[in-house]
Structure 1
């Protein structure tokens, strides 16, 4: 299928597909007339990419794990492992944000919030 048809079926733009092709997320072959031709399964793959992005995965993460997930005999098991890894990353980031929030809360009401706590000013 040509890029316009793929974009319409996947609910994205031709520019997005071109970008995904450039970074290796989707592959099409070039026809003799120069048009891109994509396989029908590219529609499902683009839906997968968009869902993965919604779940917080970067395009680099999607690209890094895409082939192994497509070829995994038990994709649910492979996905669960990736989800668990992502949860750990999110938990670590939440802890960092909580520490940052606590630091900022300590600085509320002091003369210069950029000075170190306990430094006279």
Structure 2
């Protein structure tokens, strides 16, 4: 078998060969351009994806925080409504003369005419 080295082979300088080499160079340049464009798009896509993910995670944490605040506010609202109902009831009771008299006798040790008030240590009003 005969072996040929590149030194022994001469290339034809025809128009076809020149055109073929030119086409190979153009194809190689297109490939490099394609790889560069793909790399640029990949970088841009990665930056945009990172920005979107960071925005989504920050929004989710904000939503979770707002949810906690909402629960706290609902709890506070329920307590306030309960206190409002108690105060309305108390205001309604304060319009009653008998209730006012009872409070005056209990807290201020006042008495009606002819009534004597005794305070004992075992009384439940302490």
The higher-RCO structure (CA 8 Å, 6+ apart) is 1
- Rg comparison, structure with higher value: 2
